[in-house]
Amino acid sequence: MREYLLLVVSVALMVTGCAHVISQEMRSQVAPELTFKEVTKEPMSYQGKIVLWGGVIVKCTNTQEGTLIEVRETALGFRGKPKDIDVSHGRFLVSHPEYLDCRIYGKGRKITVVGEISGQKTLPLDEIDYTYALISAKEIYLWKQERAYSGGPGWHFHFGLGIYDEL
């Protein structure tokens, strides 16, 4: 009996650790046929559609309307985590109606967002004007920061994900 209980608890912990970071309720509303590349060609054509995107934060700005986060898109992998961060099809903006601390939602952090396409916004990007797809966040997941191996305390091992140090 004790071995059975241990097995059930172990399996439950493994399954929970493998769960997607975005709720099932939100994921069920996503239009999976809409790719980032397709939407960013004409964001206005997809207003009201729900998307699940992620990437790396480029910039975070607090405004009178809430927080605006500029994200460099990357493909999503296991559990909705941004992967292949050196490959991107562009950038998008996430609007959140509340204040988010930009020291936490800072440059370089990985983020996964589900939200409604609310239009587009053209802003300067270096020496060009760049048109961003704008999504209104319904759910945001900010991934923990990872450091390359350098030894020392705080190291964790995760099956299939390797060794990393959480900041």
**Residue range 14-53, pLDDT digits in tens:** 444 568 899 999 999 999 889 999 999 999 999 999 999 9
The pLDDT assigned to 146 comes to 77
Residues with Cβ within 8 Å of residue 55, at least 6 apart in sequence: 71, 72, 73, 74, 82, 85, 88, 91, 92, 110, 111
The pLDDT assigned to 84 comes to 87
Q: 101 versus 155: which is more confidently predicted?
A: 101
Whether residue 76 lies inside any domain: the answer is yes
The pLDDT assigned to 85 comes to 85
The closest of 104, 120, 12 to 62, measured between CA atoms, is 104
Return the CATH number at 91: 2.40.50.140
pTM: 0.78
Whether residue 159 lies inside any domain: the answer is yes
- Per DSSP, 75 falls in state -
Whether residue 11 lies inside any domain: the answer is no
Whether residue 82 lies inside any domain: the answer is yes
- Per DSSP, 149 falls in state -
Whether residue 3 lies inside any domain: the answer is no
Domain assignment of residue 154, given as a range: 17-166
Number of structural domains (the chain) is: 1
Whether residue 94 lies inside any domain: the answer is yes
